[in-house]
Amino acid sequence: MKKITIKEIARIGIMAAAVYVALLAQVYGSKETEKAQNCMGSIQMLLFLIGGGLSCLFFLSARGIFMSMGIPGEAIGYATDYLRIIALGIPFLSVYNFYSAVIKAGGDSRTPIWNLSVSCLMNIVLDYVFVALFRLGIQGAAFATVLSQIAAAGLTVFHLYRKDKRALVIRPDFKYVLQIFRFGITGIV
């Protein structure tokens, strides 16, 4: 039986993202508010469930993942700590990715890049503070990354709150979830 590789998982993620960005651009540009909110709500729900599920999966199976990879015993503890902390940031990464796609679908490609740039600079500063000053080691680096992801998500949500509160309303519609899967699977195959 063939094992699924990280490359294949990344390919699935990239295809799913391409589908939801295209779908978002289509309904967002239609100016049909209810249709756009239903589509966005469906994608939100799907991404948050996937993000939360992946977060739990990685948090709970971190040690097993590294043991199955044959990581040396002295490194497993550090790797497990790092992955468990990073796993806590996956839902925030999902929030950032989704809402930045919404902003881009509305024609603004600068704001998501700006938010990500602030997040990156924050990560660099926090890495120095947590690792060099507070001597938190690998856990400090992981916390810096998660806090930066939270900042990126927060800045993106704040921007939408100020500019387009409609995008923050969740109204899932199952027909869009089916469309995402149908288009996504077609692209993956």
CB 174 within 8 A of CB 180: no
> How many angstroms separate the Cα of 135 from the Cα of each of 18, 139, 147?
40, 9, 17
Q: Which two tokens stand for residue 26?
A: 């289509």
Low-confidence ranges of the chain (pLDDT < 70): 1-17, 28, 183-189
**How far is the C-alpha of 58 from the C-alpha of 35, rounded, in Å?**
34
Please give the pLDDT value at position 32.
Answer: 78
Predicted TM-score of the model (pTM) = 0.83
Please give the pLDDT value at position 33.
Answer: 74
Please give the pLDDT value at position 13.
Answer: 63
CB 96 within 8 A of CB 156: yes
Please give the pLDDT value at position 19.
Answer: 72
Please give the pLDDT value at position 6.
Answer: 55
**How far is the C-alpha of 29 from the C-alpha of 35, rounded, in Å?**
11
